[in-house]
A = this chain, B = another copy of it.
Amino acid sequence: MSGPVQHAGMRASNLALVLRAIAEADAITRARLSTVTGLTKSSISGLVTDLVAGGLVEETLAPPSRDRGRPGTMLALHRQGVAGLGLEVNVDYLAALVVDLGGTVRYRHVATRDNRGRPAQEVLAELAGLAEAATAAAAEQRLGLAGACLAVPGAADGTTIVRAPNLEWAVVPVELPLPATAYGLSIENEANLAALGELWFGTATPRDFVHVSGEIGIGAGIVVGGELFRGAHLRAGELGHVILDPDGPPCSCGGRGCLERLAGLDAILQAAGAPSRLELERRCRDGDDRALGAVADAGRLVGVALASVTNLLDPDAVVLGGVFAALAPWLQPAVADALADHAAKPELLVSSLGPDAAVRGAAGAVVRQVIDDPAKFLGWRG
């Protein structure tokens, strides 16, 4: 949107226009807001009053300067008022995380446990406990939750997980004991949310990149021009099922020789003879040949798959995330070597968020809902 909108949804659009301008500017005067948005000063005044009353924006004083005799009133996002709750259910951990409107993490809890073979309702009951603790922690900090977003290793339709193959979940409706909020609960693929987490909260991420979520499964979030690329049926980014060996071992997807079957965390642990990720990392640090070999072999395969991805999508960078970020000291050189063997040479980055990227992205997605549609939040509170 590049200017004021003149129709029935005008107030809602203009609230979003103003809030986005405030978010992008960090701190801004009413006069500058009028210039940036093209709205009149009296429109700005009314919209800002509503945003301040709703707890989304706060007034601050700019430091006095020589140019202006007295300190001016600036507007900024209200970082102490509203927050987003991110949740994640993954194959070997659960997570809950709260970020405020400014993107600062205000609460984080990760519970590591292999969730395969557990009944879905049991896992979701444990997740409910994490959600309740996070909600309480937000309340203690006087943060009001605007909504919640759940990251899953699969796909969802509304609030039902419709498939999560690595959890062996088919159709699982999700009900969590969350407080009533303006935006409610949404569910999204964890690889997509991890890419958005990296885009919003990562360091020096370009606008066109592929973020690799390396876990038991391997997914990718494809970001094109700063927006998520979802595909025609919202199923893009299944990097784990790029085929590296058409005659290779069968994969849970029905195919053979898929990347995640050959280089996912399970395959690495098996090749390394290590019982857990933490033990694998310990052995790598200790220079254990078998562990280092297993990680390097996986890195080579990840690099080959990323060479194919780069030839197809031509991104600025590929970002190693999830477990692959934790294993980067030993994995990245092999990925880089494999990429160098092939023509396409994107920048190879390591996620600064690592396994937190998806739950950060989930919490950030709630904040993004507030910025994109503050009228819904104000109307709900009002």
Beta-carbon contact of B236 and A312 below 8 Å: yes
Contact of A246 among B239, B304, B313 (CB under 8 A): B304
List 28 A-B residue pairs with CB atoms under 8 Å apart, sorted by A's residue number. A208-B231, A220-B312, A229-B313, A231-B313, A232-B314, A233-B314, A233-B316, A235-B314, A236-B312, A236-B313, A237-B314, A238-B344, A240-B311, A241-B343, A241-B344, A242-B311, A243-B244, A243-B342, A246-B304, A253-B343, A254-B342, A254-B343, A255-B342, A255-B343, A308-B308, A312-B312, A312-B313, A313-B313
Given contacts A255-B342, A342-B253, A343-B254, contact A312 B246 (CB under 8 A): no
* A341 CB-CB contact with B under 8 Å: yes
* A315 CB-CB contact with B under 8 Å: yes
- Alpha-carbon separation in the docked complex, A235 to B309 (Å): 12
A341-359 residues with Cβ-Cβ distance < 8 A to B are 341-344
A204-257 residues with Cβ-Cβ distance < 8 A to B are 206, 208, 220, 222, 224, 229-246, 253-256
Q: Which residue of B lies closest to A232 (CB)?
A: B208
* A265 CB-CB contact with B under 8 Å: no
Most chain B CB neighbours (cut-off 10 Å) among A220, A230, A343: A343
User: How often does this chain occur in the complex, in copies?
Assistant: 2
* A301 CB-CB contact with B under 8 Å: yes
- Alpha-carbon separation in the docked complex, A256 to B309 (Å): 15
* A307 CB-CB contact with B under 8 Å: yes
- Report A's interface with B, CB cutoff 8 A: 206, 208, 220, 222, 224, 229-246, 253-256, 300-301, 304-305, 307-309, 311-316, 338, 341-344
A207 to chain B, nearest CB (A): 8
Enumerate chain B residues within 8 angstroms of A312, measured Cβ to Cβ: 220, 222, 236-239, 242, 309, 312-313
Enumerate chain B residues within 8 angstroms of A238, measured Cβ to Cβ: 311-312, 314, 343-344
Going nearest first, the 3 A-B pairs with the smallest beta carbon separation are A231-B314, A255-B342, A238-B311
A260 to chain B, nearest CB (A): 11
A255 to chain B, nearest CB (A): 4
Beta-carbon contact of B243 and A315 below 8 Å: no
Enumerate chain B residues within 8 angstroms of A239, measured Cβ to Cβ: 311-312
Beta-carbon contact of A242 and B308 below 8 Å: yes
